[in-house]
Amino acid sequence: MPKKILVVEDESELIVLYDEMLHDEFKVLTAATGKDAIEIFDRENPEIAIMDIHLPDISGIEVTKYIKNKSPDTIVIAVSAYGEKLKDVLEAGASTLVQKPFIVKELFTLIHDLTQPISSIESQAQINLEGSNNIPSSLTRIAFDAVIENMGEGSLKILLKRSGLDRYIGNLPPYDDSPSITRDEYTKIIQNVFYILGEKGAKPILYICGKAGFKHSLEDNPTLFGVAGVAMKLMSENKKKKFILTKVLKRLEEIFGNPHILEEDEENFYVKLPLCPYCKGLTSTKPICYTPIGFYEEVIKWATGKPEKVEQIQCKAMGHEYCIFKIPK
């Protein structure tokens, strides 16, 4: 018997779309209200639910809570046009949240990713990761942990499968300097975060990853970026900023294999990236490199003890020649 999938959606056009997409592989059950969804769930006990968050009666979040309380193993994929609902959705028990509008083929892939059993093959975990795999395991693990904390383990599983990183499902990398993922794989993860959450939902997640990347690297491995707090004690604030930025950018060049150029004028420092792993393959009408913004803000806070806003003033996703980040003096 095919698995049952409950589609909870109040837009009739989308109900038809879901049915066309899913009926060949699933028994599709549909509901246009939260009340109907609960009644159908109680009667049919579907294994999967696609849940619109904004319903005409009961919130999709409340329906998700009901489903997960009654059947913890049921997979719930939340759908919304509002990224700010992400934390509420995950706390309610959804595996992930997909932003409207979505690409039908990609959503179908997500459903398969979530419904396939975890199969972490031991030999995959023992792949030789030398050579082109230049991202330290500690930085990779920090990013994965941030995804789990803010998006849930189901979303991390999706990200890993879609990025060709099945070897890390149930087998997260250690907090050390050993090589882990390639630069291209790192970029694929960021691309998939944008797909699943949209720009609005991706922004806080990637920003948090950036802040955690520097903060935890110092706590767990202070030599990773070659920083030296003692040498900075007698420096002026601007010299501290320049010193730490020079050190950090040199290390980032080694990690990502692309130039990180530091320039300055009387009022600001500027970090210029002619090749950017954070927006590669993406297009946007506004700057979207949120990870380095969080990262550089944490760098400056560590150096001076003061919070400082970093602004991205150019982005290659917008068609600019460089990604440029402005750091006030």
**Lowest mean pLDDT across 17-21, 153-157, 292-296:** 153-157
Which tens digit of pLDDT belongs to each residue from 84-140?
466 777 788 887 777 776 656 667 777 776 766 543 333 333 333 333 457 888 888
Q: Which of 7-11, 188-192, 217-221 has the lowest average pLDDT? A: 217-221
* Topology adopted by domain 3-115: Rossmann fold (3.40.50)
- Share the mean pLDDT of the chain: 83
Q: According to the model, what pLDDT value does residue 128 have?
A: 34
Q: How far apart are the C-alpha atoms of 283 and 285, rounded to whole Å?
A: 7
What are the strands of the beta sheet with 3-8, ordered from one edge? Answer: 26-31, 3-8, 48-52, 75-80, 96-99
Average pLDDT of the residues in 284-312: 93
Q: So where are the chain's domains?
A: 3-115, 122-195, 225-328
Q: Say how far apart CA 69 and CA 35 lie, in whole Å.
A: 16
Could you read off the pLDDT of 166-180 as tens digits, one per residue? 889 889 998 887 888
* pLDDT tens per residue, range 39-77: 999 999 999 999 999 899 999 999 999 999 999 889 898
- Of the CA atoms within 13 Å of residue 159, those in its CB half-sphere come to 31
Q: What pLDDT digit, counting tens, does each position of 299-322 carry?
A: 999 888 899 999 999 999 999 999
Distance CA 211, CA 295 (A): 5
Q: pLDDT tens digits for 221-269?
A: 666 565 555 556 677 889 889 988 988 898 888 888 889 999 999 999 9
- Give burial (CB, 10 Å; 0-12/13-18/19+) of 219: exposed
AA letter at 307 = P
**Overall fold of domain 225-328:** Muramoyl-pentapeptide Carboxypeptidase; domain 2 (3.30.1380)
Q: Is the pLDDT of residue 143 over 80?
A: yes
Q: Is the CB of residue 58 less than 8 Å from the CB of residue 34?
A: yes
Interior angle at CA 323, CA 319 and CA 328, nearest 5: 135
